[in-house]
Amino acid sequence: MRINIVPIGCLLLIIYIVIDIFRKKNSNILKRIIFYSFIFYLINVFYFTTGGINIPPLREEFRGVSFQLLPFRFLVDWIEIYNWIGFGWFFRNSVKLTSLNFIMLLPLGIYFPVLFNIKSVKKVALYTFLCSLIIESYQVVFSFFGFVYNRTFNVDDLLLNTLGGIAGYAFYKLYKQIMVKKNEIDLV
Exposed, middle or buried, 148 (CB in 10 Å: 0-12/13-18/19+)? buried
Report the share of the chain in percent with pLDDT over 70: 98
Q: Residue 136 has what pLDDT?
A: 96
- Pick from 10-14, 50-54, 109-113, 121-125: least confident: 50-54
**118-127: average pLDDT:** 97
pLDDT over threshold 60, residue 179: yes
Among the residue ranges 14-18, 22-26, 108-112, the one predicted with the least confidence is: 22-26
* pLDDT band, residue 28 (cuts 50/70/90): confident
- When pLDDT is cut at 50, 70 and 90, the band that residue 1 belongs to is confident
Per-residue confidence band for 186, with pLDDT thresholds at 50, 70 and 90: low
Exposure of 173 by Cβ count < 10 A (0-12 exposed, 13-18 middle, 19+ buried)? middle
Residue 187: the pLDDT is 55
Alpha-helix runs per DSSP H in the chain: 5-23, 29-50, 73-85, 89-104, 108-116, 121-144, 155-187
Q: Give tens-digit pLDDT for 129-147.
A: 999 999 999 999 999 999 9
Q: Which helix (H) or strand (E) holds 57?
A: none
pLDDT higher than 90, residue 173: yes
pLDDT at 133: 98
The structural domains of the chain, with segments of one domain joined by +, span 1-56, 68-188
Residue 49 and residue 139 in contact, taking contact as beta carbons nearer than 8 Å: yes
What is the rounded average pLDDT for all residues in the chain?
Answer: 92
